[in-house]
Amino acid sequence: MRKIVIAGNWKMFKTRSESEEFLRGFLPHLEETPSEREVVLCPPFTDLSVMSKYLHGSLIQLGAQNVHWEENGAYTGEIAASMLTEIGVRYVIVGHSERRQYFGETDATVNLRLKAAQKHGLIPILCVGETKQQRDAGETEKLIISQLEKDLVEVDQNNLVIAYEPIWAIGTGDTCEATEANRVIGLIRSQLTNPNVSIQYGGSVKPNNIDEIMAQPEIDGALVGGASLEADSFARIVNFQ
């Protein structure tokens, strides 16, 4: 069965005290959330430990925003999977377009990170998506298929979430039409060996468009940036109709 997974990607926002303040406002809203929905918060690494304590016994799962592929070693600035699992992290975002664009992430390193995450029992959220230029050139399908082919080599599809995040829709307010997101996500599903992988849409998801997005038959959830930073707005999103 495909699970509904709604995740908030906080990117480089919120100090530890700000994350605690968010939870105080957000947790009471979860009483209305159907229990079969998976709600995931992906704060900066520095917030994970304290949030893990707050969230113990709650419905929310914790996610990290990146993970290195080695067990440990001289890799300044990186975080290993065991460091995440020991503090209760369950998910990890891998291959976000901001990592690919600004930090030199390649399909090869995305693939290594996915396999390392799974080896330690973390569920990776693999991000794929095209630039505006690629979309305008009619290369969306080719790009997505190529990313999936390279990123998923030897990756276990029973333990995976995929997020379709068109880069031109991220942080721009320019949401991809729900039916178009549905079409591309259908294409992604057609490339997988396991049809039950949950596939999210990400890119300017807001309280006012979540219902339409989630009404699409191929879309199993959302990866939310800006609108996950504010407790009331993220609550409205996880409690979509």
- Applying CB under 6 A, the residues found at the interface with ligand 13P are 9, 96, 165, 170-171, 202-205, 223-227
Distance between CA atoms of 174 and 26, rounded to whole angstroms? 26
Determine which one of 38, 98, 105, 165 is catalytic: 165
The closest residue (CB) to ligand 13P is 225
161-164 and 38-42 as β-strands: parallel, antiparallel, unpaired?
unpaired
Cβ of residue 4: shortest distance to ligand 13P, in angstroms? Answer: 17
Q: Is 11 marked within a binding site?
A: yes
Residue 20: how many other CB atoms lie within 10 Å: 15
Q: Is 25 marked within a binding site?
A: no
Q: Is 239 marked within a binding site?
A: no
Determine which one of 96, 105, 130, 218 is catalytic: 96
Whichever of 69 and 168 has its CB closer to ligand 13P, that residue is: 168
Cβ of residue 226: shortest distance to ligand 13P, in angstroms? Answer: 3
Q: Which of 222, 200, 218, 199 is nearest to 210 (CA)?
A: 222
- Copy the structure tokens of residue 219: 């879309």
Distance between CA atoms of 157 and 153, rounded to whole angstroms? 10
Cβ of residue 121: shortest distance to ligand 13P, in angstroms? Answer: 22
Q: Which of 24, 79, 68 is nearest to 231 (CA)?
A: 24
Is residue 160 within 8 Å of residue 182, measured between CB atoms? no
For the question of residue 38 being annotated catalytic, the response is no
Element (H, E) at 6: strand 5-9
Cβ of residue 167: shortest distance to ligand 13P, in angstroms? Answer: 9
For the question of residue 165 being annotated catalytic, the response is yes
Q: Is 225 marked within a binding site?
A: yes
Catalytic residue positions, numbered = 96, 165
Q: Return binding residues for substrate.
A: 9-11, 171, 204, 225-226
Q: Return binding residues.
A: 9-11, 171, 204, 225-226
